[in-house]
Amino acid sequence: MPLPRDYTAQQCSLARTLEVVGERWTLLILRDAFYGARRFGEFARTGIPRAVLTDRLNHMVDAGLLERVGSAPRGHYGLTAKGISLWPTVYTLMAWGDEHYAPGGPRRIFVHAGDGGSLGPTGACELCGAVVPVGDILVTPGPGLEPPAPDEHPVNVALRSPHRLLEPLLGEPVAAEG
Amino acid sequence: MPLPRDYTAQQCSLARTLEVVGERWTLLILRDAFYGARRFGEFARTGIPRAVLTDRLNHMVDAGLLERVGSAPRGHYGLTAKGISLWPTVYTLMAWGDEHYAPGGPRRIFVHAGDGGSLGPTGACELCGAVVPVGDILVTPGPGLEPPAPDEHPVNVALRSPHRLLEPLLGEPVAAEG
DNA sequence: ATCCCTTGGTTCAGTGATTGAACTCCGACG
DNA sequence: CGTCGGAGTTCAATCACTGAACCAAGGGAT
């Protein structure tokens, strides 16, 4: 019997969302896109099999979460507005993992660039209470982040200092295309 | 090679969370638990294969998201505090699906029981601005909910009128065990 | 023009996940 | 004791996923 990507006959928007982001590795790719990963190799740092990464990136472009500028071997990817609107989901998943599966404390801390306040469990700034636009959030290393491994991927190195979400991780930022 | 439930070597709390909730159907089961489903058959209404449902329920109990009271064929399941803390994730997934994949409008609308305000995209009440405790949220049918099918499952029928989250969907409520 | 390197992508045999239908187990009731 | 209903198990078939090997293409150096 066929095993589609869809949850047939589901009258629920959660099922619709899972049809887009529910496959293995997709949400991890999304996370890295928020961190500023743009090149195929930057997404590959997580260990995802290359055939799966190719498939997921194509699917995410088709679904309108990412847009691709240029083509192999020069293409790079960026989040669309539709993709960016998944930030609350990505953030709450990370917050929950920090709360329940981070014995050393959170691995990354997200900070409102405007006032230095940490983001709370629902993603609002704990200082000013605002829902912070993604571009105003810094991702910083937390106490639970493990020490660097030998031959650490440049993306991992870049994420060991505070970094603004959506800004490219490697190389200089290009002109905004918002 | 083994294909475990885990994302090995991931230094990310998102990966930890996905190891618990990332398998197919798990988040849909969680959603129904929030709606008040308690019995095996109430979860089965989504069409999930029974062997998978058994496996997922066992896994969720093992992970501490659900607790089981009694055993087959009398047992029923309820969310633990740990499971309840996944509400922001479940809610933001549904909100995103409503925004992007609900041509008829949202299929369900979540309302703050205390003041009637709808929940916004991050789950806060749009009237009073508070983050609403799960037990104070009503799930109500939205304009995008399709008309009832013949022989509709009692759970679907129950969800066609406003219903408080976490309250049992069928039969009378039992004493709170919170 | 050719060669090499790097990046991105494809293929494949093997393994595990998932599925729907059929069947089993067990408790409650008459 | 027999029946019914709820929960769970089994199984053949199919698909997802994997890691390694290989291929394609562009750019730079010679």
Query: How large is the ipTM?
Result: 0.92
Does A102 map to a domain?
yes
Residue A23 Cβ under 7 A from any strand D atom? yes
A99-113 burial, b for 16+ CB within 10 Å, e for fewer? ebbbeeebbbbbbbb
Can you give the distance from the CA of residue A70 to the C1' of nucleotide C2 in angstroms?
A: 27
Task: Provide the CATH number for the domain around residue A69.
Answer: 1.10.10.10
Domain boundary (B30, B59, B83) is at B83
Taking 80 as the threshold, does the pLDDT of residue A93 lie above it? yes
Number of domains into which chain B is organized: 2
Q: Which of helix, strand or coil describes residue B9?
A: coil
In chain A, % of residues over pLDDT 90: 77
Model pLDDT, residue B5: 52
Domain boundary (B51, B83, B115) is at B83
Looking at the complex, report in whole angstroms how far the Cα of residue A162 sits from the nearest Cα belonging to chain B: 16
Question: A110 and A78, same structural domain?
Answer: no
Question: Distance (Å, rounded) from C-alpha B63 to C-alpha B82?
Answer: 9
Q: Which residues contact A18 (CB under 8 A, 6 or more apart)?
A: A7, B27, B28, B93
Which is nearest to B13 in space by CA: A135, A95, A133, A31?
Answer: A95
Compare CB distances from A89 to B22, B47, B89 and report the shortest one's residue. B89
Residue A75 Cβ under 7 A from any strand D atom? no
Domain boundary (B83, B104, B132) is at B83
Can you give the distance from the CA of residue A115 to the C1' of nucleotide C22 in angstroms?
A: 62
Question: A92 and A78, same structural domain?
Answer: no
Question: A112 and A72, same structural domain?
Answer: no
Question: A65 and A31, same structural domain?
Answer: yes
Question: A123 and A64, same structural domain?
Answer: no
Lookup: nucleotide whose C1' is closest to B25 CA: C18
Quote the DSSP letter at residue A134: G
Give the pTM: 0.92
CA dihedral B81, B161, B32, B151 (to 10 degrees): 160
Question: B148 and B107, same structural domain?
Answer: yes
Question: Distance (Å, rounded) from C-alpha B65 to C-alpha A66?
Answer: 32
Question: B48 and B95, same structural domain?
Answer: no
Question: Distance (Å, rounded) from C-alpha B5 to C-alpha B132?
Answer: 32
Does A8 map to a domain?
no
Compare CB distances from A17 to B24, B93, B121 and report the shortest one's residue. B93
Can you give the distance from the CA of residue B143 to the C1' of nucleotide C15 in angstroms?
A: 45
Along the 178 residues of chain B, how does pLDDT read in single tens digits? 334 456 765 678 999 999 999 999 999 999 999 999 999 999 999 899 999 999 999 999 999 999 999 888 888 999 999 999 999 999 999 999 999 999 999 999 999 999 999 999 889 999 999 999 999 999 999 999 988 888 888 999 999 999 999 999 986 544 433 3
Model pLDDT, residue A177: 38
Give A124-172 pLDDT, tens digit per residue: 999 999 999 999 999 999 999 988 888 788 899 999 999 999 999 986 4
Does A100 map to a domain?
yes
